[in-house]
Structure 1
């Protein structure tokens, strides 16, 4: 593997991290485009592509998905071309990575993400203990509903952080940090011998994200059940651990109702007659009404498109699988599932299937499966779960 090949893999890692929108790229929207163009140049011009015959079906499904998501719903020829360069080509090029390149991608991604979180954790802890750090006020240039952030440069926090400051590193939301940490922990097989795993666990726990906690717990259960050839003992162990954790949660919530964990996590798990649980606050009431209104119309099948969706809900924060359905319809989500299943078919193993389940659970709450940090990581990780 030559230097150019390694460089292209590292650029792919940067594209993946930038898809999480750390604060330092908010005003540099063109930076990701520059790295995408560099990645395409390195892979198509300076690196010999190895398009194995097994890739053809996956690439075909990927093309159909792109035609519908970014072609049918495109507002102009220009936007179609931009999405072809920004979305389709990078995805296809990562699919054609060799097994060694995919292994290096996962290692680079884990290291880069962990270093970012570690630096943030160190400075966040210093600030949390009462030390003053240089800071400034920043605002997301597009999603104004976030409000102001206090930027400490190595980490950001929400300006009005309430009873307790949730850790979110340099990213827009604590949930984004927790979501990716949970996925990377699964990919790294929860190996406690790796310092990166400890960093990801601490960062995830300090995010106080209910969804991240659930993904962490369910990911551990899925991993250790599917890893074992004998299912009975792992199931019994997991049942015992689950029962102990549930009892501990009930005890904390009952006797320490005003604690940080009770307020930010456990209280959101109370039953609600309308939302299921109190913490199910991913969509506002106007979104829910519009979603219910289109369920018997063709828009439910085909979607309303990203431009119309943005015009309707620009000032509100909505994030669940329903957002993807509203934008691209049931047909869009069907093609998305077909794409991931075609990848799974090519590199099937128990652990690969477990990662697919984990991403599916994450998608229910945050429909970010096509963010490069999720799609690239999935593509590269599932090939590594296969036994040689």
Structure 2
């Protein structure tokens, strides 16, 4: 299949396709054209050292993650931490690692703590890599991935990133983009993350698609004292173009996502469930088009920012404006047991990048079941 014909068809295809051969399907959305390791023969690294070597070298590769790669074990004991004002729930809250390079802890009360050092910095992935999990076996435990400093053409598919010091703010980020281009993140699961499940840093992250992935916010150390993770998805890259579709975002309490600066985010056919805080926080400079999504038990689907960006969330009452501006049928969002999603800045539509890049937005009535069946890693 050259491009995604529809969300349901593409998701079904992955479930029927063996992963051993490498990447399944082709990139769509803003990341159209991403080929990763291309025609490089698929191979499985033997251990964490070989995995790190293959990820960071200059050779185009298709890297099969066919087992768990465990980076845990190098502990920092009796190290500097602090108790931020956000931790009002004691041992079930998140304290913060006091990094020497950051003044974040400021005057907060200091503590000593023990954490795993490997998680603080992700592996720096080089250009032209496909990282593909085999069945449900592909796990990176205790280490995330970073794509930055001019790196381009990377595919991450069907892997689970987990256990990055979840009890600590600044404990680690699962996937970081910062000064990159052409990145496709597909069928990835993230869980038990200390800081961000996904973060696009201040440098441009270019063209990105995040699809069919699961952001699992369930945790025993919550900044909001309710077993829900707060720091979830952060888009700070300048001039980013991000397609965000088919994803399952659940048991979070904020930043799901938080977007700022000059970027375009197209969020369609995603399923948000059980968010006790806010989903979208759209700040200055961002253009966000939100359509065909389902919000279920989300307290605040859209947070009014003090310096708001431009957001158009399609509703049944005004979708005709979107249809006319984009020259296709736009799809209204659905909200159940949730707050309001009131954002109708039509300037988003007039400035939206031309071309749909192989996407097809399905009706919101079909989204929940499809996402629950297909998002995240697949056997």
TM-score normalised by the chain length of structure 1: 0.27
- Where is the helix percentage greater, Structure 1 or Structure 2? 1
Higher relative contact order (CA 8 A, sep 6+): 1
Larger radius of gyration: 1
